[in-house]
């Protein structure tokens, strides 16, 4: 299973806890034939919050508030901006065609869990078989709250023959820990839905009417995000995207193909880059493209080399060089680079006596080293005497900007 998948049991803990709108106990609100514009459904990629407990690879995004639209808050909207019901209403305005008799439709309020009943009253097909473009309706029991949850099915994967689970890619708004509804934030993620959840009263899918398009606009609203050596794309179209990445001098440094609504790690060195993404047209969507520019400092490998050590009285002089691939700025800010210096005393090596050699650590200390060449003066304990071999090692501690580097050497005493 991909690391981007998330088991339903974990997902339900994250589901939005406040899907309720302001319309309660009434028929569909007017106007009934409201249609979203491209601006209403265009998503802007944003980095996901750290430590949110979401699966790796989740794409986070936001939708701008359009106060001129019927769905906008506070101009008579049944759904506040940023709620899961707000987003599903943007993507599936056909839910509000008001074809059902008022006597039937008034039996439902507009919490998320009631959407399956609304759709059936409107003549839409509802069952447990997901299709791209469906509204995914979580019951109150499935969501573990009082309002349920709704999401949009972006893509449907294969069924796992071992578990019967269904892989789905969904987009949604207001997932606790990932999204802030007051800022119109949402996310796209892939999850593994157990077949045991696809039963009436748990999770159901509202299908589109036969022949209906995915949305009223042909623009798939492709968005591109670039940060920290990662590229994210979010699009309503499921067509693969082609990415061309150029350096600051316009030289092409990388080409790749990515699936939409995913995050790709680029593995590029420090620098400024521009990523341009193009998505081919499909039967439902026009082609689309977008670019993003960002700079970052990628982690580097610390190159450590040790010169020939020599003893001077009770001290050991050790030449150390931190190689040129280590940025000088990391060691020039006054803090230096932290390295662990260790000296191990080996007895019985080369002495001609029978028996295995013994070794013990006689010196270990964390020191701050600067980039470039320097000589360390290390104290030797009184136990270091006579004929012996010292094995000296220097290991740079890894950080967010430095990968580990190390080197070792030996010196014979006596």
Tokens of 4: 């981007």
Decide if pLDDT at 345 tops 90: no
Give the integer Cα–Cα distance in Å for 320 and 322. Answer: 7
Give the integer Cα–Cα distance in Å for 302 and 68. Answer: 55
Secondary structure letter of residue 7 according to DSSP: B
Which of 262, 296, 330 lies at the terminal end of a domain, its last residue?
A: 296
Decide if pLDDT at 200 tops 90: no
Half-sphere exposure of 291 (CA within 13 A, CB side): 8
The verdict on residue 215 lying in a domain is no
The verdict on residue 114 lying in a domain is yes
Mean pLDDT of 312-332: 80
Decide if pLDDT at 112 tops 70: yes
If one compares 79 and 224, the residue with the highest pLDDT of the two is: 224
Q: Smallest Cα–Cα separation from 168: which of 189, 187, 196?
A: 189
Q: What pLDDT digit, counting tens, does each position of 220-239 carry?
A: 888 999 988 999 999 888 88
pTM (2 decimals)? Answer: 0.70
CB-based contacts of 255, cutoff 8 Å, min separation 6: 242, 243, 244, 245
Q: Smallest Cα–Cα separation from 135: which of 176, 98, 186, 95?
A: 95
Split into its structural domains, the chain has a count of 3
Q: Are 149 and 172 in contact (CB under 8 A)?
A: yes
Among the listed ranges 34-43, 249-258, 291-300, 397-406, which one has the minimum average pLDDT value? 34-43
Q: Are 390 and 310 in contact (CB under 8 A)?
A: no
Clarify whether residues 95 and 199 are in a common domain: yes
Give the integer Cα–Cα distance in Å for 410 and 222. Answer: 58
Clarify whether residues 398 and 288 are in a common domain: no
Clarify whether residues 83 and 123 are in a common domain: yes
Q: Are 100 and 117 in contact (CB under 8 A)?
A: no
The verdict on residue 98 lying in a domain is yes
Mean pLDDT, the chain, rounded, equals: 79
CATH value at residue 365: 2.60.40.10
Q: What domain range includes position 234?
A: 223-296
- Give the per-residue pLDDT at 76: 44
pLDDT band at 286 (very low <50, low <70, confident <90, very high): confident
The verdict on residue 218 lying in a domain is no
CATH value at residue 252: 2.60.40
If one compares 371 and 248, the residue with the highest pLDDT of the two is: 248
Strands of 268-371, DSSP E: 271-279, 288-296, 300-301, 304-306, 310-312, 315-322, 337-347, 358-369
pLDDT band at 107 (very low <50, low <70, confident <90, very high): low
Mean pLDDT of 65-71: 67
Which of 271, 296, 321 lies at the terminal end of a domain, its last residue?
A: 296
- Give the per-residue pLDDT at 354: 47
């Amino acid at each position: 299973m991909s690391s981007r998948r998330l088991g339903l049991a974990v997902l339900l803990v994250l589901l939005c806890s406040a899907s309720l709108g302001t319309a309660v106990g009434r028929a569909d609100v007017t106007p009934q034939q409201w249609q979203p514009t491209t601006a209403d459904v265009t998503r802007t990629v944003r980095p996901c919050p750290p430590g949110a407990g979401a699966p790796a690879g989740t794409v986070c995004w936001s939708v701008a508030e359009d106060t001129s639209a019927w769905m906008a808050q506070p101009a008579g909207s049944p759904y506040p901006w940023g709620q899961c019901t707000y987003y599903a209403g943007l993507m599936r305005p056909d839910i509000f065609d008001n074809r059902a008799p008022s006597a039937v439709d008034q039996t439902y309020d507009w919490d998320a869990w009631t959407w399956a009943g609304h759709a059936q009253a409107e003549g839409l097909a509802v069952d447990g078989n997901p299709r791209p473009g469906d509204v995914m309706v979580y019951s109150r029991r499935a969501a573990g709250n009082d309002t349920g949850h709704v999401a949009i099915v972006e893509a449907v994967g294969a069924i796992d023959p071992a578990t019967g689970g269904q892989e789905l890619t969904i987009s949604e708004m207001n997932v606790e820990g990932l999204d802030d509804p007051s800022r119109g934030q949402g996310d796209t993620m892939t999850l593994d839905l157990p077949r045991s959840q696809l039963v009436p009263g748990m999770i159901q899918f509202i299908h589109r009417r036969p022949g209906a398009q995915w949305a009223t606009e042909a623009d798939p609203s492709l968005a591109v995000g670039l940060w920290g050596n990662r590229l994210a794309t979010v699009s309503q179209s499921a067509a693969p995207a082609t990415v061309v990445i150029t350096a600051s001098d316009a030289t092409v440094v990388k080409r790749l193909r990515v699936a939409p609504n995913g995050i790709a790690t680029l593995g590029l060195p420090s620098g400024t880059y521009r990523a341009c993404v193009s998505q081919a047209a499909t039967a439902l969507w026009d082609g689309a493209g977008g670019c993003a520019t960002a700079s970052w400092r990628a982690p580097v490998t610390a190159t450590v080399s040790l010169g020939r050590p020599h003893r001077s009285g009770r001290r050991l002089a050790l030449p150390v060089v931190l190689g040129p691939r280590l940025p000088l700025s990391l060691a020039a800010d006054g803090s230096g680079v932290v390295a662990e210096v260790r000296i191990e005393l080996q007895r019985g090596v080369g002495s001609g006596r029978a028996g295995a050699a013994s070794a013990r650590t006689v010196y270990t200390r964390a020191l701050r080293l600067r980039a470039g060449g320097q000589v360390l003066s290390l104290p030797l304990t009184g136990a270091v005497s006579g004929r012996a071999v010292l094995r000296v090692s220097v290991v740079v501690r890894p950080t967010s900007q430095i990968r580990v580097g190390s080197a070792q050497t030996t010196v014979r005493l006596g």
